[in-house]
Amino acid sequence: MNSIDSLYSLNIQNSSIGKTENLKNSLRSRNNRRLKDACTDFEALFIKQMLDSMRKTVDKSGLMDGGMAENIFQDMLYDKYAEKMSKTGNFGIKDILYKQLKSVY
């Protein structure tokens, strides 16, 4: 094998190592985004449970009882509140989860 062939072989190996590293970084980045999304979703579920518990403590006056339709609407509304609060609020649950799970993963 002459020096040109060995340089060509070395270049192919370096190129393949670079592609492998790029693929690893891409997968790591995608997994980090998915982990962040999962932590945000978990925080939203936690907030939703908290809001539901708080809502149960409020007495209804009976003047404007919407029945089952109102209950469904309120449940959907509180879902959206929880999603928005987890994305814009600073509860810190998703950050703690992310740091803990990222170190394990």
- pLDDT recorded at residue 65: 73
Number of structural domains, the chain?
1
DSSP-derived letter for residue 64 is T
- pLDDT recorded at residue 81: 94
Q: Which domain holds residue 62?
A: 3-104
- pLDDT recorded at residue 98: 92
Predicted TM-score of the model (pTM): 0.70
- pLDDT recorded at residue 16: 62
Q: pLDDT means per 10 residues in the chain (105 residues)? A: 56 63 82 92 94 88 77 92 90 91 81
- pLDDT recorded at residue 85: 92
